[in-house]
Amino acid sequence: MIDACEIDVRLRKKQHELEIRASKLSEELTRYNIEVSKDSEDRAQQLENEEVAEAIAQETQQELQQIKHAILRLKQGQYQVCELCQQSIEPERLLALPYTALCASCANEQ
Ligand SMILES: [Zn+2]
């Protein structure tokens, strides 16, 4: 049996970490926009860094959405129910991926 309180604490902790990461990334991206280098080589490197930061920022936002969704599912008592097949999600899967909304077999079919 899964301890909903413990899961809630874990999810919120992760949410907090991701929010910090997201705000650091957006600061970084703002800085890139301000400090545009005039040197073309530097500029190329800068654009590359900017792209990487943007990709991570997007991933972070996606993860945040998943976590918020999982917290909501937990509140509704749906946390352990697969969103596709309505079967129970394997407890070991939830431990490894605390914000998954799909059981292993549905996730494999995605
Ligand atoms: Zn399923």
Nearby residues for ligand 1 (ion, Cβ within 5 Å): 82, 84-85, 103, 106
5-47 pLDDT per residue, tens: 889 999 999 999 999 999 999 999 998 888 777 788 888 888 8
Q: What is the CA(95)–ligand 1 centre distance, in A?
A: 16
Q: What is the CA(73)–ligand 1 centre distance, in A?
A: 15
37-58 pLDDT per residue, tens: 778 888 888 889 999 999 999 9
Structure tokens at 22: 């997201």
Contacts of 102 (CB under 8 A, 6+ apart): 82, 83, 84, 89, 110
